[in-house]
Amino acid sequence: MRIDIISIFPEYFSPLELSLLGKARASGLLDIRVHDLRSWTRDRHNTVDDTPYGGGPGMVMKPEPWGEALDAVASGGDEGAAPRLIVPTPSGLPFTQQRADRLAGEPWLVFACGRYEGIDSRVAADAAGRMPVEHLSIGDYVLAGGESATLVMVETISRLLPGVLGNAESAVQDSFATGAMAHLLEGPVYTKPPVWRDREVPPVLLSGNHGAVDRWRRDQALRATARNRPELLDRLTADDLDRRDQEV
């Protein structure tokens, strides 16, 4: 997958060189290119913002550098292919695991990181004539800019790509994963030693009985969900429930 990120703070993205994503980039599974928006400014001060029409607090990002940046970045594909443009904004649709799964199937994403009060709205309208555009929010809070939201989305999407996680199963077991554990939060996890500071690992996990372990994990997941996110249980359908769940 190719991911282009446009920002006035390219240094913000150095964490993408670490750990799983760093390895995926080194192995060629992931091609991440970070661009400095200011390289598409034409004035001496590399201006990227201006006061909002209609008044109000803060500044708005100017359309000209964004237009040129997107023209340059989005024209760099193979055989005229267009990327999907993601604009992180607290006013967007919620970024969920389901959206991440869908985006992980795309060959090419471009993230446009706004600062201040956002990017002049004509930029996304103009881009939409050439490529699909999605405005996405990572949660009901306001960040100082789209950079940290982009880090969250890029990490969430990248770990779903085949070959990026060491153990392909671990993405399936996660909280919010689709499949057997859909809509459930992950329960507690343990490793060696079996007793630590007088606390024992639940004996079922040492039993070697895989059926009993699966059942215990599912019960713990149901419990964690009921405690922390009870509204998620409403999303379980009869098909999501196995036989014992229905007896409970």
Q: Which residues are annotated as a binding site for S-adenosyl-L-methionine?
A: 114, 138-143
Cα distance between residue 171 and residue 5, in whole Å? 25
Annotated binding site: 114, 138-143
Of 123 and 181, CB closest to ligand ADE: 123
> Does 102 qualify as catalytic in the annotation?
no
Region 127-156 residues binding ligand ADE, contact defined as CB under 6 A: 137-139, 141-143, 146, 149
In the numeric block, the tokens 């997941």 are attached to 221
Region 184-223 residues binding ligand ADE, contact defined as CB under 6 A: none
Q: Which of 117, 186, 240, 245 is catalytic?
A: 117
Q: Which of 90, 126, 130, 155 is catalytic?
A: 90
Of 87 and 177, CB closest to ligand ADE: 87
Q: Does 59 bind ligand ADE (CB under 6 A)?
A: no
* 173 phi-psi bin (left φ>0, alpha ψ -120 to 50, beta other): alpha
Of 67 and 92, CB closest to ligand ADE: 92
Cα separation of the two ends of the chain: 44
- Binding ligand ADE (rule: CB under 6 A), the pick from 48, 74, 83, 88 is 88
Which residues contact ligand ADE by CB under 6 A?
Answer: 88-90, 137-139, 141-143, 146, 149
List the catalytic residues. Answer: 90, 117, 159, 174
